[in-house]
Chain A
Amino acid sequence: MDFTFFLIQALNGVQYGLLLFLIASGLTLIFGIMHVINLAHGAFYMVGAYLVWSLTGVFDSFVVAILAGIVCAAALGWVIERFLVIHLYNRDHLDQVLLTYGLILVLNEVQRMMFGSDVHGVAVPSMVAASIPLTDTLSYPVYRLVLAGVCLALAFAMYWIIQRTRLGMWIRAGAANREMTASLGIDIRRLNALVFAAGTALAAFAGMIAAPLSSVYPGMGDNVIIISFVVVVIGGIGSVKGAFLGALAIGLTDTFGRVLLPEMSSVMVYALMAAVLLWKPNGLFARA
């Protein structure tokens, strides 16, 4: 394997990992703060992809479609939190699993009713449709680099919000201790709604920016949710830092696994998870 090939695979792995991080971070925060396991988080990824596909038809601009899509997704998350998830805060995990599973079925079926079962493509925006030539035969698409850059910027923004802002202080307090949050005078209802809406928007955003690469198809959220769970388990539930490292590890493992050990590729990420669990049963950055 020559260096260029390795570089391309490494970039693909990192880019896939960063995309996973957008989904897994929301998942891990929703668990960390609300103690809710949300199986429907992958469905939000699918919702994002379909949003951007239909909105590019309306606005004729990928960027505008994304901005409008984020607003729609956040609103959807807000509504779902208000009317469904809010009933889950004092329920056990089984009820959470069931209700959010029901939500997946509903969202999947609504998607099928509205958009059918066809696979749709979303064009890469022309501004970044070029490729950077690496050798005579190999080149790297600019869009993938842009995607990785945007994800990285979002990761830094999230880090900044959580570590440096008042909202971040609430989030950290909420993740550490629910009673303390209440005693600090934090409006936990608003915090919950905000985090859930933000998590939904993040997952949907991941679906939107992935759409030009992966195309848009029914059930696309189902695969993503399982891999995101693997990321969260590896990173430690509730840890955003863990989700970041776990996502990169999974992205690279999956990408290189497909290239180096194609016949074993479907098992690689799970083998990684099993290895981490043997070593650290609560994931890399579990809270005590």
Chain B
Amino acid sequence: MTPAAPLTASTAWQAPSRFALLLLALAAVLAFYPLYGEALFPGQHDYFLQKLTAIMILAMLAMSLDLLVGIGGMVSLGHAAFFGLGGYALALFGPEYEAANLWTTLPMTLGAVGLAALVIGALSIRTGGIYFIMITLAFGQMFYYVFNDADFAGGSDGTYIYVRPAVEVFGLKLVDLGDAVTFFYVVFAAMMGTYVFLRVLLASPFGKVLRGIGINPQRVRGVGYNPDAYKLVAFVIGAMLAGLAGYLSAAQFGFVNPSMMSWHHSGTVLVMVILGGLGTLHGAILGAFALEILHAVIEARTEHWLLVLGGLIIVMVLTLPKGIAGLLERLTSPRANRARTGHEDRGES
């Protein structure tokens, strides 16, 4: 796995850049955290370990949204609904006081989320553009209200998952998800797996068409592809990955509630994607870490985190169209001022 995979077309045929090496170094720092964390942050290690795990799950969610927004040009404001559905699916499909079986609950979860995404996608993709934004927002919020009012799922208080899912083969415990370090590595592998899967997807014929759709859907149609079909498939894939992230999140915290689905959660994840750099995948990871670390730092000093976040978003839109990934890349790239790519080229549709 190299994060050197094409950031944009123009880098596709070049050797790993300094930027790619920087990303690899960051991944290594993260991967070895359980080994050095105790020594570096005595007393806070457990908290940091848990926090990093949670951020990696958010990074998965952000990558899944990047597939829609950054690659396919579908600005979804209801993406958190699929994250929440994944979490609720674990809570509802599993037994209440025993460990859920991962081999059955995870496929069921992904199936349920995929089905929901298929229906919502089919209704929202036909028109595209601004309708897509509003319709995904509305349906996302519908799920929020459904679970907010649902007695079977604990209503607005949410519901608990008392035992983490079991990963067993013939009754033999493969990994113990109850152990924080093991869970950290499982999530790390899931995040990297998601990244590699999406890279593979983007390199495939499907990925090529999807990227073309993100830039100019009408032109892609003129070539002979029906953009709606490809968008729908991408929408379902993105939703299922979000569902996977939600499943892991529910397993980590042992708790789900409707706020996982709220449109503010969708909005925050969208900010992560933009902050890290749209359509780059690793940018989604960077953005998740940057935003969450900033969140933790600011929250320790003031209770007005949302004011800071709102201001940050406004400043970012006005001044930093390619996010921190774009900034980092400019700083590490010998070629300054490369052709701007991505989102300002996408016309209104």
Contacts and interface: CB of A to CB of B under 8 A. Distances in A.
> Are A and B in direct contact (Cβ within 8 Å)?
yes
B274 interface: yes
Nearest to B148: A266
Given A87-B318, A104-B310, A274 B270 contact: no
Contacts of B138: 226, 229-230, 233, 270, 273
Contacts of B278: 94
Contacts of A189: none
A267 B144 CA distance: 10
Interface in B335-349: 343-344, 346-348
Nearest to A237: B130
B133 A98 contact: no
B314 to A, nearest CB: 4
A252 B126 CA distance: 27
Contacts of B316: 98
A233 B274 CA distance: 26
A217 to B, nearest CB: 15
B135 interface: yes
B313 to A, nearest CB: 3
Interface stretch (B23-31, B190-198, B239-247, B301-309): B301-309
A91 B146 CA distance: 34
Contacts, number: 126
A93 B314 contact: no
Interface string B211-252: 000000000000000000000000000000000000000000
A8 interface: no
A146 B316 CA distance: 44
B312 interface: yes
B344 A92 contact: yes
A226 B141 contact: yes
A35 B126 contact: no
Interface in B286-327: 304, 306-307, 309-314, 316-318, 321
Interface residues of B, number: 47
B313 A99 contact: yes
A233 B313 contact: no
B304 A109 contact: yes
Interface in B106-137: 123-124, 126-127, 129-131, 133-135, 137
B344 A97 contact: no
Contacts of A277: 123-124, 126-127, 135
* Shortest beta-carbon contacts, A-B, top 10: A105-B310, A102-B313, A266-B145, A106-B310, A109-B307, A270-B142, A102-B314, A229-B134, A99-B317, A102-B310
Interface of A: 31, 35, 37, 84, 87, 91-95, 97-99, 101-110, 113, 222, 226, 229-230, 232-233, 237, 263, 265-267, 270, 273-274, 277-278, 281-283
